[in-house]
Amino acid sequence: DVLTAVEGGVDIKELNVGSMAHSVGKVVVSKVLSMGQEDVEAFEKLEQKGVKFDVRKVPNDSRDNMDDILKKAKAELAKA
């Protein structure tokens, strides 16, 4: 768990977020990411600690914006 590592003192400046599978309690927020409330909270905490995100499945893909993804996740989770 990256948040645990960062809170434990590991210096992570950028995190590649390549794929998060859909499961019960999660909402689909992009073609490769599904998030639950716990995921949203963890990414927000990482962002507050200065971690940047490289959101894409493979290096040739263009980067997705994590702020936009988190906003969409919150909106979709509020509907669920």
CATH architecture of the domain with range 2-79? 3-Layer(aba) Sandwich (3.40)
Residue 16 has a pLDDT of: 94
pLDDT exceeds cutoff 80 at 79: yes
Q: Where are the domains of the chain?
A: 2-79
At residue 31, the pLDDT reads: 85
Q: What is the pLDDT of residues 1-18, one digit of tens each?
A: 899 999 999 999 999 998
Q: Which of 38, 20, 40 is nearest to 30 (CA)?
A: 20
- Residue 28: count other Cβ atoms within 10 Å of its Cβ: 14
Query: Is the predicted pLDDT of residue 80 greater than 80, yes or no?
Result: no
Per-residue pLDDT tens over the stretch 18-68: 899 999 999 999 888 999 999 999 999 999 999 999 999 998 999 999 999
